Amino acid sequence: MSAPLYVAVAGAATAGTTTAAGASEHRPLIITLFGLFVVATLAITIWAGRQTKDAADFYAGGRQFTGFQNGLAISGDYMSAASFLGIAGAIALFGYDGFLYSIGFLVAWLVALLLVAEPLRNSGRYTMGDVLAYRMRQRPVRTAAGTSTIVVSIFYLLAQMAGAGVLVSLLLGITSDLGKVVIVSLVGVLMILYVTIGGMKGTTWVQMIKAVLLIAGTLLITFLVLLKFNFNVSDLLGQAADNSGQGVKFLEPGLKYGKDSLSKLDFLSLGLALVLGTAGLPHILIRFYTVPTAKAARKSVNWAIGIIGAFYLMTIVLGFGAAALLKRADIIASNKAGTTAAPLLAQEIGGGSGSTGGAVLLAVISAVAFATILAVVAGLTLASSSSFAHDIYVNVIRKGKATEKEEVRAARWSTVVIGAVAIGLGALARDLNVAGLVALAFAVAASANLPTILYSLFWKRFTTQGALWSIYGGLVSSVVLVLFSPVVSGKPTSMFKGADFYWFPLENPGIISIPLGFLLGWLGTVLSKEKADPQKFAELEVRSLTGTGAH
């Protein structure tokens, strides 16, 4: 590990008291594993950067990745800190209701596979704006698509950066504000380096490595938990129910959702956002452009479904294992949302607090969590910088007259700016509710991006006005509803705990903003005076279905 990085992390680590039990005496081991991952991935990024010669290399990795490699990278992009740590914690605290998150994330991939993956790969070049601009007026729709992409990416980035500050701080025993800011800043600097130096090639390799590490780490803990119960899942669930203090209710619906009509509605809203949001997430969409053919795009999604499906099945064992083997009070004391349940489980299954085995497993899972955050923030930053450079800078500001060299330079500079914004917001949001930020990103993606993509690909009459109404309407409605929801104010778990200005009762706006995005797209089109070009639609339809003329 480089000296400055070690000093910064070690200095931050000593700034607070130990939070994760047994972590303090083994902190050098945790920091060493972090350092090995950082050094290895930076070396790969520098190697990939030397092979990045043009815009296709920077944005799409030269379209040289196989279906399996891209599927692995998609998995690395998708399995964020919220997936790894958040779902395990939700199951540990809420049992069956927490398990529903796993189902929502997994089912979302069917929407991406059936409706988006192949047509998008065939129709676009680097970004979502390419698909929209093919049929419509370039400047307004590219501006709208770029704006939406950057907003979704920033909020998702904010969630990951805030998660970095909270999760890594907990695992390293940091409690001071300065220590958390240092962690957020380090993650941001690494993220900027990955994208500016390596582009899509470097980012893809980092995501592939992270996916392998995450699956391996999760598989190890899953095996050890099942081994403790002699591979009897019934015994595992039974002890989890008994240890939770809820009894059989822990294994039934209703601990978090379903208590009343409002919570049922909230769950439906969350489910809509999770299932439909994936197909509109910018950092997932750009992955479809890194493969050479539409067949490879389909294959990559198939691989991703298999890898992600196996992972989410294992999160069930992690969550119920934590409920069975850890005290609920200890999980909540470490983090109210249960975010540290998986690392605490790793420590417990390895021998408990203070043991060498527990320390080693805690260090491994800590390093995997860190790798998870780094890989996801790199993908998000690349998506937003690509959209700014390709859609807004080249096609709106320069009106298509910029050279590829200028375009890549603009993408790299925008990476630095977006990274700086993410560091600043992440530092301010280090103590906020990360789950609310993730939900916002999914809701915005499902409300603004997905309706526009589907209408553009499958509706002959869709016009520029319809696209603008859909994107801006979905974007504004979802953001406004979340700002005035319990996620932001009015409850002890809100982002701003002392404030109370909410009037929208649900924690996720999906049930309102997603239908509104589709409705506004339809309404803007039927009220538009312009007529869609049937020939352009026919060309796009042939291209999206067959791949003819695809880049």
Measured CA to CA, the distance from residue 78 to residue 268 in angstroms comes to 22
Confidence at residue 516, expressed as pLDDT on a 0 to 100 scale: 96
Write out the two tokens for 427.
């530092």
3-state secondary structure of 228: helix
DSSP annotation of 162 reads: H
List beta partners, residue 496: 489
pLDDT per residue as tens digits for the range 51-108: 666 565 565 555 567 778 888 888 887 777 667 777 888 888 888 888 877 787 778 7
Confidence at residue 431, expressed as pLDDT on a 0 to 100 scale: 58
3-state SS track over 273-332:
HHHHHHHHCHHHHHHHHHCCCHHHHHHHHHHHHHHHHHHHHHHHHHHHHHHHHCCHHHHH
Q: How confident is the prediction for the chain on average, in pLDDT? A: 78
Measured CA to CA, the distance from residue 121 to residue 142 in angstroms comes to 18
Measured CA to CA, the distance from residue 547 to residue 65 in angstroms comes to 18
pLDDT at position 8 over 60: no
Confidence at residue 154, expressed as pLDDT on a 0 to 100 scale: 81
Confidence at residue 514, expressed as pLDDT on a 0 to 100 scale: 94
pLDDT per residue as tens digits for the range 383-411: 788 778 877 887 788 777 777 777 778 87
pLDDT level of residue 451 (50, 70, 90 thresholds): very high
pLDDT per residue as tens digits for the range 321-356: 999 898 888 888 776 777 778 888 888 888 877 777
Confidence at residue 468, expressed as pLDDT on a 0 to 100 scale: 93
> pLDDT: is 488 or 505 the higher one?
505
Backbone torsion region of residue 432, taken as left when φ is above 0, otherwise alpha when ψ lies between -120 and 50, otherwise beta = beta
pLDDT per residue as tens digits for the range 279-294: 888 777 777 766 777 6
Write out the two tokens for 130.
């390419």
> pLDDT: is 109 or 147 the higher one?
147
Lowest mean pLDDT among 13-22, 186-195, 503-512: 13-22
Confidence at residue 2, expressed as pLDDT on a 0 to 100 scale: 36
pLDDT per residue as tens digits for the range 218-231: 999 999 999 999 99
Mean of pLDDT values over 228-246: 89
Confidence at residue 4, expressed as pLDDT on a 0 to 100 scale: 33
pLDDT per residue as tens digits for the range 296-328: 777 887 888 888 888 888 988 999 999 989 888
pLDDT at position 48 over 80: no
Confidence at residue 298, expressed as pLDDT on a 0 to 100 scale: 75
Q: Where is 95: in which H helix or E strand?
A: none
Q: Are the C-beta atoms of residues 506 and 262 closer than 8 Å to each other?
A: yes
Confidence at residue 475, expressed as pLDDT on a 0 to 100 scale: 93
> pLDDT: is 137 or 430 the higher one?
137
pLDDT at position 21 over 50: no
pLDDT at position 6 over 50: no
Confidence at residue 20, expressed as pLDDT on a 0 to 100 scale: 44
pLDDT at position 28 over 50: yes
Q: Are the C-beta atoms of residues 342 and 85 closer than 8 Å to each other?
A: yes
Measured CA to CA, the distance from residue 138 to residue 401 in angstroms comes to 14
Question: pTM to 2 decimals?
Answer: 0.79
Burial of 260 (0-12, 13-18, 19+ CB in 10 A): exposed
Measured CA to CA, the distance from residue 481 to residue 474 in angstroms comes to 11
Confidence at residue 55, expressed as pLDDT on a 0 to 100 scale: 62
